[in-house]
Structure 1
Amino acid sequence: MSLDPLLAYARRMDRADGLAHYRKRFAGHDTDLVYFDGNSLGRPPVAAIERMQRFMTEEWGGRLIRGWDEAWLQLPTEIGDRIGRAVIEAKAGQTVIGDSTTVLLYKLARAAVDAQLARDPERREIVLDTDNFPTDRYVLDGIARERGLRLRWIDVDLTAGVTPEQLAEVAGPQTALVVLSHVAYRSAYLADARELTRIAHDAGALILWDLCHSAGSVPIRADAWGFDLAVGCTYKYLNGGPGSPAFAYVRDDLQRVLTQPIQGWFGSADQFAMGPAYEPVRGIRRFLSGTSPILAMLPMDETLAMIEEAGIAAIRTKSVALTQYAIELAEAWLAPHGVTLASPADPDERGGHITLHHEAMREVTARLWQRDVIPDYRDPGGLRIGLSPLSTSYEEVHRGLDAARAVLREVLAERAGLA
C-alpha cells in the first residue's frame, strides 16, 4: 500500500525542520498524545522540571530567606528584560514580570486613562472591539464605570479582527485609550500593530496591546512600532506553566507619568524602609505591587533560552508552515463534511493557531479529548488548533487532523441515525 502523500509530506517536513530537535526538550514528546492546545497552555520543558526540583531543595530548601537578597528580588526585572530582548524587541528597563494578565491589564489601563484625563478632561472614551478577549472587555467595563468613562466598541468579524480603517473611523479627540489584541484569541487574526499604533497616536490616544496569543510565536517589535503599553501571558508559547505570571511593557518615557493604582511594597522606592507613605520607585519596578511569585516565574526561563537560541524569525516561519499544513489537511478531510476555516487564509494575517468551524465541534472536541487528541473549543462551533512551533511536529498535526476527521464522521453519522 502506498504511503498517504499528506503523511509523506509531514515526514519530509519533520526531517528538514531546523527546529525539530527542540521537540525532545519538552515533557511528553515521546507519547502518542496529540497536543493542539499550546496556545492555551504550553508543554513543560524537561529542563524546567529539573530546575524546579533543584530550586525546591537547593535554593528554597538550602538558602531559605537569604534567597531574596541573593537572587529573587531581581527576577521580575531580569526575566522581564529577557522577554523584552528575545520576544518583544524592547530595550532593557521596560518589561517586568508581575501579576496575572487581568491584574496587569487593570493597572496599565487605569494608569493610562487617569493620565489622559489629567491631560485633557474631554478624553473620556476607551476604544475596544467586540471580540477582544473576555478579560480585556470585563476589565475595561469596570474601569469605565469606576472613572465615569464611555466604551467605544468596534464591531468585528469573528473570523478576522480590527482593521486600520475601523480604528481610524472611531479614534478621535475623545479617545483616551485603545486596547487591542495583537492576535485574536478566536480567529488568530494578526493585527497590523504598527499601523494601528500610529492611528491611535495620531488621534492623541495611548494604546495598550494584549500580546497573549502572539508572544513567543509571532515577531513583535514593541520599541520600533511605538508601543505605549502591553501585557502578555507566559503560560502559552513561553511555557511558564499553569497560572504563571504575566509580563507588562511600559515605554520608558511613560514610566515617569503613569501612576499605577495598586500601590504595594514591591513598587515602593525604599522597599524595606516600611515608611508611613508610599513613594514609587523610579523605573519599571513601580508597576509591581505585592511579593513576586518566584516559583511561578522560573519555568519560563527555559523556553526563553530556546527562543533566544532559535530566533523568533525561525519560529514564525515554522508556525506559518504548521498552520498552513493544518489548513490543507482540513480542506482535504473536513471541508467535504461542511467544516469551514474561521481564521484568515492569508498567513500574513494569521497568528499561531487556526479555528475550524462546524456546529458539531463542541461534541467533536469532547470525544477527541477522550482519545488523547487535545484541541480546544470556542463558541460558536470553533475547534481551535494551537500549534507551538518548538514542541509540535508535522506528523503530530497529521495524526490529530486524521483523528478529527474520524470523530466528525462518527458524530455526523450518529446524528443522521446511520450508526
Structure 2
Amino acid sequence: MAETLTRDDCAALDASDPLRELRSLFTLPEGVNYLDGNSLGVMPAAAPARAAEVVQREWGEGLIRSWNTAGWITLPQRVGDKIARLIGARPGEVVAADATSVNLYKVLSAAIEIAKVDRPGRRVILSERSNFPTDLYIAQSLARQHGFELELAASHEIADRLDDRVAVLMLTQVNYRTGAIHDMAGLTARAHQVGALALWDLCHSAGAVPVDLHAADADFAIGCGYKYLNGGPGAPAFVWTHPRHTDRFWQPLSGWMGHASPFTFDTAYRPAEGVSRYLCGTPSVIGLSVLECGVDTLLAAEPLGGMAALRAKSLALSDLFIAQVEARCAGHGLRSVGPADRERRGSQVSLACASATAYAVMQALIARGVIGDFRAGDGSEAEPDLLRFGFTPLYTRFVDVHDAVTALSEILSTEQWREARFNQKAAVT
C-alpha cells in the first residue's frame, strides 16, 4: 500500500521511473521541494541560453532583420503548432499570443456573435461558480456590453442548467481550487444538444492531463503558458478555435498582426484566414521564445509515451501523497477537497485544514523548503482555505512526495505553524 512506503521505497520508484531523465531538462534550486507547478512551472534548463540568444544575437546583432532571419514573425504560429500537439488540435489551429484574459475576451466575443446569429434571443453565459475569477470578470464585462447575463452554478448543477436560454457554456476544464476535472466531451455534447456553444479554459489542464479538443468537439479554447507549459512568469497564452467557427467573425481586438496582409499597411482591416486572425499586436519575441523551451520539455516526453505517460505518473504521485497524508497526518483535521475518483483528479491535490491555520501551515512548509501554495476560501465548509500541492511529472519525484508529507506531519505534530510570521499579500502568488 502507498501509505506504507518508506523513503527508500520511493527512491526505488524513482529509479525505475521511465520519465526520470526528463527532470534534467529543468533547473531546480538546491534544497527546494517544489510542488507549485500548477501556479508557475519550473524554469527549463534551456531557457536562459535561449533568452540570451534572442537578446544578444537575434536582437543585438540581427536587429530588425531577425523578424525574417530568426523567424520572429511566425513565432505565434510555430509555438501554437507545438501546443496543438498537447491539446488534440491540428497544425494551423492554435496561436500563442497575449494573456489568457485577453484571449478569453476574443473567443467569448466571437461565441456571443455566433450565438446572436444562430440562436437569436439567447442571452445566458453559463459558468461554474468556482471558476477562476478572471474568467468570470471577462464574462461579466462582455455580458454588459451585449445585453447578456452571466449565470453561475455549482459543478454538479451545470448539466441540468443547460437549456434553451444558454448561448455559451464557459468552463475551466480543471478547477483551480479542487483540481476536479470536468467531463469536457460530455458537457460539450450536452451544450450542443441544447444549441449552446462550449468554450474551455485549459490553464490547469494543458500539459497536465490529456486533452483532445477535436474528440470532444469543443468550439473554443484558451489557456496560459506559465503553469504546466513551463513558459515563465507572464508567458504568452494560447487560443484555439474549431475550424467551423474560425472564419465566421472578426475577433474584437482587430490589431495589425491579425490583418490578412499586415505589411501592406492598409487603412481598412481585413482579417487573416484561419486562427491567425486571433492575433492582435506585435508578438512578444522573448516571451514566446522562452515559452517554446517550456513546451519542448513536454514534447520531450513523446518518445516515452507522451501525455498518457505523464498522466499515469501524475496520478501515481498524487495517489501516494493522499495515502501518505491519510496515514501520517491523521488526527490533524486534514481532508482532501478534490474528487475521490482519481480519474476526475487533475495534477494537484488540495487539502482543507481544520485544526490549524492553512496559511500559516503553508508558510511553515515554505520555510522548510517545501513550496506549495495557499488559496483563501470564504470561511464556509463548502469553500474552506486550502493548501494546494501540484504534481508535475516532468520533474517531481516520489521522494519529493514522501519528504513533503514528512515536513507537513512534523509541522502539524509540533505546531510549528503557530510560529509562522507572514504577510497576507504573499499568500496569493
Q: TM-score range by the shorter chain?
A: over 0.9
Residue pairs, 1:57-76, within 5 angstroms: 57-70=56-69, 71-76=71-76
Deviation (angstroms), 1:410? 3.3
* Partner Cα distance (1:81, 1:25) in 2: 21
Instruction: State the match for 1:385 in structure 2.
Output: 389
Asked if the contact 1:167/1:199 (under 8 Å) is kept, the reply is no
Closer/same/farther in 2, CA of residues 9 and 84 from structure 1, 3 Å limit? same
1:305 correspondence with 2:296: yes
Instruction: State the match for 2:108 in structure 1.
Output: 109
* Partner Cα distance (1:5, 1:72) in 2: 50
Residue pairs, 1:9-408, within 5 angstroms: 9-28=9-28, 31-70=30-69, 71-85=71-85, 87-155=86-154, 162-163=155-156, 166-310=157-301, 311-359=306-354, 360-379=357-376, 380-408=384-412
Deviation (angstroms), 1:178? 0.5
Q: Which moved more, 1:106-115 or 1:47-56?
A: 47-56
* Partner Cα distance (1:412, 1:316) in 2: 34
State the TM-score, normalizing by the size of structure 2: 0.91
SS in 1 for 2:230: coil
* Partner Cα distance (1:254, 1:217) in 2: 27
Deviation (angstroms), 1:150? 1.1
Q: Deviations over 1:136-164 (max 9, x none)?
A: 11111111111111112212xxxxxx34x
Asked if the contact 2:363/2:417 (under 8 Å) is kept, the reply is no
* Partner Cα distance (1:5, 1:114) in 2: 55
* Partner Cα distance (1:305, 1:347) in 2: 27
Closer/same/farther in 2, CA of residues 280 and 404 from structure 1, 3 Å limit? same
State the TM-score, normalizing by the size of structure 1: 0.93
Asked if the contact 2:44/2:297 (under 8 Å) is kept, the reply is no
SS in 2 for 1:17: coil
Q: Which moved more, 1:235-244 or 1:378-387?
A: 378-387
* Partner Cα distance (1:357, 1:335) in 2: 13
Q: Which moved more, 1:203-212 or 1:302-311?
A: 302-311
Deviation (angstroms), 1:413? 8.4
- Ranges in structure 2 where 5+ consecutive residues have no aligned partner: 377-383, 420-429
Q: Deviations over 1:241-289 (max 9, x none)?
A: 0000111011112111132111100001110122121111111110011
Aligned-CA RMSD value: 1.6
Aligned letter for 1:301? E
* Partner Cα distance (1:93, 1:223) in 2: 14
* Partner Cα distance (2:269, 2:294) in 1: 36
Closer/same/farther in 2, CA of residues 26 and 118 from structure 1, 3 Å limit? same
* Partner Cα distance (1:336, 1:367) in 2: 19
SS in 2 for 1:110: helix
Q: Deviations over 1:307-326 (max 9, x none)?
A: 22311111111100011111
Aligned letter for 1:8? D
Deviation (angstroms), 1:328? 1.0
Asked if the contact 1:365/1:376 (under 8 Å) is kept, the reply is yes
- Ranges in structure 1 where 5+ consecutive residues have no aligned partner: 156-161
Asked if the contact 2:247/2:273 (under 8 Å) is kept, the reply is yes
SS in 2 for 1:305: helix
Deviation (angstroms), 1:373? 1.4
Deviation (angstroms), 1:72? 0.6
Q: Deviations over 1:327-385 (max 9, x none)?
A: 01111122321101111122101000000111421111122222221100012221000
Q: Deviations over 1:77-130 (max 9, x none)?
A: 111011112x10111121110110011111111111122113332111000010
* Partner Cα distance (1:55, 1:98) in 2: 18
Instruction: State the match for 1:158 in structure 2.
Output: none
Q: Deviations over 1:283-303 (max 9, x none)?
A: 111001111111111123233
Aligned letter for 1:318? K
Asked if the contact 1:116/1:123 (under 8 Å) is kept, the reply is yes
SS in 1 for 2:216: coil
Aligned letter for 1:42? G
SS in 1 for 2:262: coil
Q: Which moved more, 1:299-308 or 1:388-397?
A: 299-308
Aligned letter for 1:18? P
Asked if the contact 1:42/1:236 (under 8 Å) is kept, the reply is yes
Deviation (angstroms), 1:414? 4.9
Aligned letter for 1:115? I
SS in 1 for 2:84: helix
Deviation (angstroms), 1:304? 2.5
